[in-house]
Structure 1
């Protein structure tokens, strides 16, 4: 990310020269690590918040734990939906595609190997 892009991304946020250097390094890593623009934005935003003292690793850990809890709940619901859908006549392949699950996951949920 060029300096002018970093300035545009930061907007009114003011960082010290040291913070900008640190952020620039992190942005370089983030751009290599995360091809998805939404993930990049989230990561860069987290870096800025950390550098400004707005958030901490503890808070990031709490957010991650909450997201995992939500994800596991959504996965449990999807697995129940898979069982119900197949029992109602849907194919394993269609059910897997609809739910965004692997077909082998559907088969395991149905007790098949």
Structure 2
């Protein structure tokens, strides 16, 4: 898991973020904005947006991580990650959004 990457996203780091969010209410409150948990990812250097099939693959791999499962269980909520990206001057900024039903 430590070296596993998908589209340049280190799954170990994403897993660690989800574990921290699940175990710390203060961390979770910090990341929640308007009922959505936002997790920033490493930007892409190439100014090219990801295809929809690659987005689905990223979301699926994130769902399969242990940290996301722990996060879902701690919230007692069925939530799905949504991969988002935006073209910038120097590349592509990327992040994960997880909408929550409660705030």
TM-score normalised by the shorter chain: which range applies? under 0.3
Higher share of residues assigned helix: 1
Q: Which has the larger radius of gyration?
A: 1
Higher share of residues assigned strand: 2
Kindly indicate whether structure 1 or structure 2 has the higher relative contact order, using CA contacts under 8 Å at least 6 residues apart: 2
Question: So what's the TM-score if we normalise by structure 2?
Answer: 0.25
Question: So what's the TM-score if we normalise by structure 1?
Answer: 0.24
